[in-house]
């Protein structure tokens, strides 16, 4: 059964049982009240009949009038000793309460064989007055039947009203169910502004769907970057190997092919490292805030990157310099190290032989830090400063996955990356990281 059906049946059942219980309690109270009233009437009639029966022998005078109350006539018996002296009133059994005739009690009121009987004794005179309870029981049965039918109709009406309200209340929830099954639709999550549990659920689903969409976008972007960046070197490697293996080659050609293969493999290793760094940087905003990151010194990280890339700069005849002051920050040292390696590596790559690459680290006011990498190479081609941030831009040499990694890491740390032309020509990359 659906939730709407279960709620409606539950409400209907609880309401019906509650009203039946109330009707039962009311019927019980009514029975006891009427029984007490009849008991008072027959007791008064028995006391009055006993007084009249003791005044003179024979039939008691005016007994018929004594036995009638509110149009209802009781049945009465008068005994002299153990012999029946007089019987009158309504039709009834020959002996109303046989046990009282053999007992020594002087007063008794109770139910015997469907009659409520009041028995009194004074000397040799015994009086019994009774009223049949059959009319009262019939009245209560009719009351129960009418109450049951009335309560059933009221419960059905209330159940219909509850079903309508439940349907109206669950309509936003049904809309949420349909919306959850459509992750890619741009439509907003319904019932976000609703109050109560449905609104809270809608807001939670909205947050969850937003996180899922962001995760899917990251995965799609990662796959696109991986396929784009890996396609070219893999294709070049395969073509070079096929060309080399197409016919017999002298040893010097094979050695040259192996060296090209080594360079391509190194390029593939760098690309795979960048892809892993990019994935880690994209997930960095999902972890706790900067206060949970370990402290790092941007100058120390820059020194490690310079030491790592110094042999490459020496082979290309490029002067690589580091200048700056200790700049303590909080961040991921591996990711920030990839920023430095990518920026410095690009500067070395595009600086001609005899050129210069300057790395400068400067602490800023408030605990922030600035990293600047400048070279005196040819600088950025005209019109490429905006294209530099397009991941996998194939038409601009060097503007591939590396700068995308730099941007992702810097933004994940809450910083900014700015590319511009250096003062004396060349390229300038500036990174500002918050405290």
Share the mean pLDDT of the chain.
80
Pure H helices in 196-250: 196-245
For the chain, what's the residue count? 435
pLDDT category of residue 44 using cuts at 50, 70 and 90: very high
Measure CA 237 to chain center: 52
Q: Which two tokens stand for residue 248?
A: 């017999």
Sign of the dihedral through C-alpha 159, 162, 163, 164: positive
% pLDDT > 90, the chain: 23
Mean pLDDT of all residues in 339-359: 89
Whose CA is closest to 118, among 54, 67, 44, 33? 44
pLDDT in tens, 131-150: 999 998 998 899 888 888 88
Lowest mean pLDDT of 111-115, 270-274, 348-352, 429-433, name the range. 270-274
pLDDT in tens, 71-128: 889 999 999 988 899 998 888 888 899 999 888 889 999 999 899 999 999 988 999 9
pLDDT in tens, 170-193: 676 666 666 666 666 666 666 666
Distances (CA, A) of 54 to 50, 120, 171, 325: 6, 12, 82, 129
| Gap between the Cα atoms of 236 and 408, Å rounded | 28
Per the CB < 8 A criterion, the answer to whether 138 and 67 are in contact is: no
pLDDT of amino acid 275: 65
pLDDT for 221 beyond 50: yes
| Gap between the Cα atoms of 118 and 108, Å rounded | 6
pLDDT of amino acid 435: 79
pLDDT in tens, 61-70: 888 888 888 8
Q: What is the largest CA-CA distance in the chain?
A: 158
Q: Is the pTM of this model over 0.75?
A: no
């Amino acid at each position: 059964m659906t939730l709407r059906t279960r709620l409606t049946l539950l409400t209907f059942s609880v309401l019906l049982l509650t009203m039946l219980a109330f009707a039962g309690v009311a019927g019980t109270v009514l029975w006891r009240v009427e029984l007490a009233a009849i008991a008072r009437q027959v007791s008064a009639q028995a006391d009055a009949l006993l007084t009249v029966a003791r005044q003179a022998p024979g039939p008691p005078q005016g007994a018929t009038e004594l036995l009638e109350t509110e149009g209802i006539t009781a049945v009465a018996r008068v005994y002299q000793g153990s012999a029946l002296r007089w019987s009158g009133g309504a039709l009834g059994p020959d002996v109303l309460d046989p046990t009282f005739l053999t007992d020594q009690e002087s007063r008794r009121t109770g139910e015997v064989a469907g009659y409520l009987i009041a028995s009194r004794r004074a000397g040799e005179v015994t009086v019994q007055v009774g009223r049949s309870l059959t009319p009262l029981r019939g009245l209560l049965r009719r009351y129960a039947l009418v109450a049951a039918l009335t309560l059933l109709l009221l419960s059905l009406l209330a159940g219909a009203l509850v079903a309508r309200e439940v349907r109206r209340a669950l309509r936003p929830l049904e809309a949420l169910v349909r919306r959850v099954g459509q992750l890619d639709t741009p439509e907003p999550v319904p019932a976000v502004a609703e109050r109560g549990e449905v609104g809270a659920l809608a807001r939670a689903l909205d947050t969850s769907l937003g996180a899922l969409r962001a995760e899917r976008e990251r995965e799609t972007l990662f796959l696109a970057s991986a396929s784009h960046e890996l396609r070219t070197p893999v294709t070049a490697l395969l073509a070079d190997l096929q060309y080399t293996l197409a016919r017999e080659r002298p040893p010097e050609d094979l050695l040259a092919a192996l060296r090209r293969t080594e360079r391509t493999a190194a390029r593939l290793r760098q690309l795979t490292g960048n892809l892993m760094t990019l994935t880690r940087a994209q997930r960095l905003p999902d972890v706790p805030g900067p206060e949970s990151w370990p402290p790092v010194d941007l100058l120390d990280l820059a020194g490690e990157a310079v030491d790592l890339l110094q042999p490459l700069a020496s082979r290309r005849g490029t002067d690589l310099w580091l200048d700056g002051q200790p700049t303590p920050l909080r961040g991921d040292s591996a990711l920030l190290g990839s920023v430095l390696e990518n920026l410095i590596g690009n500067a070395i790559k595009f600086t001609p032989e005899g050129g210069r690459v300057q790395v400068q680290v400067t602490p800023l006011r408030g605990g922030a830090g600035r990293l600047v990498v400048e070279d005196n190479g040819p600088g950025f081609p005209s019109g490429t400063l905006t294209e530099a941030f397009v991941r996998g831009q194939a038409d601009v040499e060097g503007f591939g996955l590396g700068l995308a990694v730099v941007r992702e890491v810097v933004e994940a740390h809450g910083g900014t990356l700015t590319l511009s032309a250096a003062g004396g020509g060349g390229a300038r990359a500036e990174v500002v990281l918050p405290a």
